Amino acid sequence: MKISKKKLFEKLRSLRLIGFDFDGIFTDAKVILSENGLESVVCSRRDGLGINELQRLGIKLVVISKEPNKIVATRCAKLKIECAHGVDHKLSLFKKILDREKIKPKYAAFMGDDFNDLECMRYAGVALTVADAYHLNKKVSHYITQKNGGHHAIREVADMVVEAREGKRNQKAAFNAATPLIL
């Protein structure tokens, strides 16, 4: 369901909310597990910068994850993103959030890499996924990032949204330095 860059940018210009899956989008889907039972994941600080840019544009961001481990909430708290984890049925929660924010589905995007994200991706006006996603997620996506999950794929999306809204970034106005960066 890939669409032209022009059509995609039109959609991105009116975007008000992005929902994200966590594992496989913020990470490469891997988990490091120690013998003490402590779980770790690797995130991208470049994604962190992209998240900051999306927030600067006033786009509401929310993470909806099936994973029960609080590591998801820890990362989201740092990035100041609303987070729901341990979610078994993502679409019903996504709908509730859109209702609460009074945002129509066509002004929302969802970015997910696996089976349990498909419903949300079909429901949102913009479906986004990563290069190494499950094949069905690629099929329903309007845009597939060139990057794999955890390898700055969110940054790629953020850069695209910024470009759609503000044109290609020139070096002078690279970042709004007035806002403190949380990566």
Partner 1 sequence: MLSQDGTESIICNRRDSWGLNEMKRLGIKMVVINKGLDPAVSKRCQKLKLEYKYDATKDKLSILKDVLVREQVKPESVLYVGDDTIDLPCLKYAGLAVTVADGASECKKAADYITEKNGGQGAVRELCELIVVAKGGLSRT
Residue 37 binds partner 1, judged by CB under 8 A = yes
User: 17 is written with which tokens?
Assistant: 């909310």
When binding is defined by CB under 8 A, the residue of 74, 78, 89, 115 that contacts partner 1 is 115
Residue 36 binds partner 1, judged by CB under 8 A = yes
Residue 117 binds partner 1, judged by CB under 8 A = no
When binding is defined by CB under 8 A, the residue of 23, 47, 53, 156 that contacts partner 1 is 23
Q: Who's near 85: CB < 8 A, 6+ residues apart?
A: 22, 63, 65, 66, 67, 68, 69, 70, 72, 73
Residue 119 binds partner 1, judged by CB under 8 A = no
Residue where the block lists tokens 């962190």 = 48
Instruction: State how far the alpha carbon of 175 is from the alpha carbons of 55, 60, 111, 143, 166, in Å.
Output: 13, 19, 24, 25, 12
The whole-angstrom separation of Cα 131 and Cα 113 is 9
| Cβ closest to partner 1, residue 32 vs residue 173 | 32
Residues numbered 62-101 forming contacts with partner 1, rule: CB under 8 A: 67
| Cβ closest to partner 1, residue 40 vs residue 74 | 40
| Cβ closest to partner 1, residue 9 vs residue 134 | 134
Contact (CB, 8 A) for 174 and 160: no
Residue where the block lists tokens 């006033």 = 58
| Cβ closest to partner 1, residue 16 vs residue 147 | 147
Residue 170 binds partner 1, judged by CB under 8 A = no
Residue 114 binds partner 1, judged by CB under 8 A = yes
Tell me which stretch binds partner 1 (CB under 8 A): 30-38, 50-58, 87-95, 97-105: 30-38
The whole-angstrom separation of Cα 97 and Cα 50 is 22
Give the sheet arrangement for strand 126-129, strand by strand.
Answer: 82-85, 60-65, 17-20, 108-111, 126-129, 143-144
| Cβ closest to partner 1, residue 30 vs residue 169 | 30
Sites of contact with partner 1 (CB under 8 A): 23-24, 27, 29-37, 40, 67, 113-116, 134-135
